[in-house]
Amino acid sequence: MDKYKETFGVDISKDVFDVYGSRCGHSQFKNNPSGFKLFVKSLPKDSLVVMEATGYYHYRLAQFLYKNGIQVSVVNPLSVKRFIQMKLSKVKTDKSDAKAICNYGLSNEVSLYNALSDVQAECFQLFRLLDSYLKKRTATKNKLHGEEVLGVPSKYAYRSLKRDLQHLDLQQKVGHFFLRPMLHF
């Protein structure tokens, strides 16, 4: 038998998150601290909240729930997508997604979320920023190469790309400078 009184599936987006409870059905909250508080107040004791890893949007809610003693699981979106496909569901709304995530949590053994410490969260953000710089740097280098292949590149375009590349190099060095001490926590 299920060890939780109720399981909730959460489909989260930029402005709101839809919630489907295995017993209470659908509700919706604002994706902000006041919405998080209202959601926590509505949860019965011994509940499980299941949500997809959505990049940025799920993180704040998962951290908030964890810090407030709520059992939360952050699952792979591809697993949920495959689960929905197995059920042959064709309806695709935020409400139906929340219900599907709830059913996924009821049907599968999901692991519990471990919140990041403030230092870990900052490291994670810096890693994502550095990754972004690296991708932009690679794209800029490729664009520079493309301009050179043209034979007579525009001086303005070439200088602009060179400045972008210098800026990205500097940002990457600064990011590594700030990240290095954090890796020794």
DSSP-assigned beta bridge partners for residue 74 = 51
Tell me the pLDDT band of 1, cut-offs 50, 70 and 90: very low
User: What pTM was estimated for this model as a whole?
Assistant: 0.67
Positive or negative, the Cα torsion across 85, 89, 95, 100?
negative
Q: In what order do the strands lie in the sheet with 71-75?
A: 25-30, 16-21, 6-12, 47-52, 71-75
What pLDDT is attached to residue 153?
Answer: 72
Phi and psi at 75, nearest 5°, equal -110, 160
Q: What is the mean pLDDT of the chain?
A: 85
What pLDDT is attached to residue 65?
Answer: 94
pLDDT digits (tens, 9 = 90+) for 70-97: 999 999 889 888 887 787 766 678 788 8
- pLDDT above 50 (res 127): yes
Structure-derived torsion over alpha carbons of residues 101, 107, 110, 113, reported in degrees to the nearest 10 = 40
pLDDT digits (tens, 9 = 90+) for 25-74: 999 999 999 999 999 999 999 999 999 988 778 888 998 999 999 999 99
CA angle 124/127/129 to nearest 5° reads 110
